[in-house]
Structure 1
């Protein structure tokens, strides 16, 4: 029986308030309106940004909400005016939209789009569809959207500027990682830091984003890749993906930035911070060489904290920048990244520690908090 034009009842994980576990509920998902698409989510990753959104210390978000932004699925139906998608298309929802028409989309200088740049903070304030309404209800209550994607629902509705069609042969339980974690870490190296062949790099944090950055450093031809993490269990995988030196800050009496500068003749050429801790961001900048060292910030700090940077470091030639979705223009780049994965140009599979049924979402978050998983994929 066709579901086109009808309300769909399905399973979703709802965050009713900050700090509490997700509740698996039956939700009602309304049909897509003009320039919207309803997508059946097949697989979704669990990302630290989802945890930030329900962390009471992060910011005041709107509740109840359906989180999730690292998903992949199949188009179920399209709203009026949609011409680029049809039912059955394999797709990846995009928290970084690309309308293709605004001054940002038309500029090669940024991957931002005005569809998101007018949002106060991209992490939590995309809480309704562009017309100011929600497509989700549960127990008679409106449920908020998240980052324009809300992939923690078996069906979701997204704007056509926040969706991209991908290779029909792509395994959705792997390429969902291109929706956030992999693209962010890999792109931070390739697009934002612009790591050069023969250079030296330091990657702080070996979660899914950090390990993707290691892959980026390897692909860019870095000659030496330091990785820094307090979880030694992640070092073997980091080496498989290209790391040359694995450092645990707890093994040293000196600050890790001093250790790196002593080991590597005054510091590395590039440092990539993938944790979201301002003290680590400071350390990452300080471990780069004077003259030309570049520190790229990927992590998002809790509570809107600021990085304590000495102007003298900048005067002496060090640089600091940051990345959002790895600098990729999403609609243009995501299909190409999927194709590169299919051509075995990088190893997404290595990032997947567990694949669990969607009902185990709270277990997946526990595994992340406990440092026992790189990425856990939830499948419906």
Structure 2
């Protein structure tokens, strides 16, 4: 029996307050309104940004909230005026929308759609939400909220993907993989034969390594204090792995010696503001490019010596790998199906929705 136009009752992982575990609750998901899409979720990855946000008091004003922002599913129904997807389509959720009309979307040099800058919240088109639980409005993290059996999102935040795509695998392309891979390919523009240093070997850091390798880098040095991650880093393309604690001198001096003056490209993927200065100092003093990939809280100040800029170094940020999401994320899914890159090393556990807190703890423990 069709559910179009009806309220759907289903399960979701709801965060009632920052720092607390999520509860599996029954929610009510209203039909989509104009320019909105209701999606039956199939799979969702867990991103480090989810974990950081869950513990931040800044999120309290939006609780209760459904977390998660990298997911895949099947369109259940669409609202009036939706033209890019239809019921039955396989889709990927876009945590960074692309309206296709604002100055940024029409400019090739940036990918941060005005919808993100204007709202900056966890709300839908009307500053509200289509989801309720126990009589309360439930917000959706980054206006997505993929830890749910059904969600309602804007049309500009969803894209159709190939019918043959494995939803349980390609969900991580929606954020983690696209962010790291694009940081190397789009933001840094890694060149063939170059040297790279990647600080932080989580899923995004490994995706950076995959991007550096795809771009033809000659040496890719992976840096982390968790040596358990070294084997996987080498599997995806790292040529060397080092732990800063194994050296008496600062890691930037170690890399300076290893790479004859520093790396051509450095990537900060830990989200640690102190590591930004280290990564920048690890770049070649004449032409090195350092890209901040890790998520750093908006109120945190980065302390960098001005001396590092009396050189040819460049420091830049990267948001979701620089991709124009609605246009380009589906192409990454197609590339995955064509085996242009392998996502298998980035997926370590597959758990059901009711195990979401266990999954969060695995990430916190570095056991992903």
Q: Shorter-normalised TM-score: what interval?
A: over 0.9
Q: Decide whether the 8 Å contact of 1:35 with 1:80 is kept in 2.
A: yes
Q: Decide whether the 8 Å contact of 2:69 with 2:145 is kept in 1.
A: yes
Q: Decide whether the 8 Å contact of 2:29 with 2:131 is kept in 1.
A: yes
Secondary structure of 1:237's aligned partner: helix
Q: Which residue of 2 aligns with 1:230?
A: 225
Q: Decide whether the 8 Å contact of 2:224 with 2:242 is kept in 1.
A: yes
1:61–1:298 CA distance, 2 compared to 1 (3 A): farther
CA distance in 2, matches of 1:163, 1:109: 22
TM-score of the two chains, using structure 2 as the length reference: 0.98
Q: Decide whether the 8 Å contact of 1:57 with 1:302 is kept in 2.
A: no
Greater shift, 349-358 or 253-262, is seen at: 253-262
Q: 1:300, CA displacement in angstroms?
A: 1.5
CA distance in 2, matches of 1:24, 1:211: 31
From 136, 140, 161, the counterpart of 1:141: 136
CA distance in 2, matches of 1:83, 1:338: 21
CA distance in 1, matches of 2:117, 2:191: 30
1:316–1:180 CA distance, 2 compared to 1 (3 A): same
Q: Which residue of 2 aligns with 1:332?
A: 327
Q: Deviations over 1:325-362 (max 9, x none)?
A: 10000011011101100000001111000011111000
Q: Which residue of 1 aligns with 2:212?
A: 217
Flag structure 1 segments of 5+ consecutive residues without an equivalent. Answer: 120-124, 374-380
Q: 1:307, CA displacement in angstroms?
A: 1.6
Q: Which residue of 2 aligns with 1:130?
A: 125
* Mapped pair 1:257 → 2:247: no
Q: Decide whether the 8 Å contact of 1:58 with 1:302 is kept in 2.
A: no
Greater shift, 52-61 or 102-111, is seen at: 52-61
* Mapped pair 1:362 → 2:357: yes
Q: Which residue of 2 aligns with 1:376?
A: none
Q: 1:58, CA displacement in angstroms?
A: 6.3
Q: Decide whether the 8 Å contact of 1:126 with 1:145 is kept in 2.
A: no
CA distance in 1, matches of 2:347, 2:277: 30
From 177, 182, 203, the counterpart of 1:208: 203
CA distance in 1, matches of 2:220, 2:235: 12
Pairwise mapping of residues 53-64 of structure 1 onto structure 2 (< 5 A)? Answer: 53-56=53-56, 61-64=61-64
Q: Which residue of 1 aligns with 2:163?
A: 168
Pairwise mapping of residues 42-81 of structure 1 onto structure 2 (< 5 A)? Answer: 42-56=42-56, 61-81=61-81
* Mapped pair 1:291 → 2:286: yes
Q: Deviations over 1:193-233 (max 9, x none)?
A: 11111110000111110000000000010010000011111
CA distance in 1, matches of 2:245, 2:117: 39
Secondary structure of 2:351's aligned partner: strand
CA distance in 1, matches of 2:91, 2:343: 17
Q: 1:234, CA displacement in angstroms?
A: 1.0
1:321–1:85 CA distance, 2 compared to 1 (3 A): same
Q: Report the count of equivalent residues.
A: 368
Q: 4+ residue runs of structure 1 moved beyond 6 angstroms?
A: none
Secondary structure of 1:367's aligned partner: helix
CA distance in 1, matches of 2:95, 2:150: 16
1:144–1:57 CA distance, 2 compared to 1 (3 A): closer
* Mapped pair 1:271 → 2:266: yes
Q: Which residue of 2 aligns with 1:377?
A: none
Greater shift, 338-347 or 77-86, is seen at: 77-86
From 168, 178, 189, the counterpart of 1:183: 178
Greater shift, 80-89 or 304-313, is seen at: 304-313
Q: Which residue of 2 aligns with 1:244?
A: 239
Q: Which residue of 2 aligns with 1:39?
A: 39
Q: Which residue of 2 aligns with 1:100?
A: 100
CA distance in 2, matches of 1:57, 1:219: 39
CA distance in 2, matches of 1:25, 1:346: 37
Q: 1:314, CA displacement in angstroms?
A: 1.5
CA distance in 2, matches of 1:194, 1:61: 39
CA distance in 1, matches of 2:166, 2:152: 21
Q: 1:302, CA displacement in angstroms?
A: 3.5
Greater shift, 58-67 or 252-261, is seen at: 58-67
Q: Deviations over 1:23-61 (max 9, x none)?
A: 000000000001100000000001111112111366655
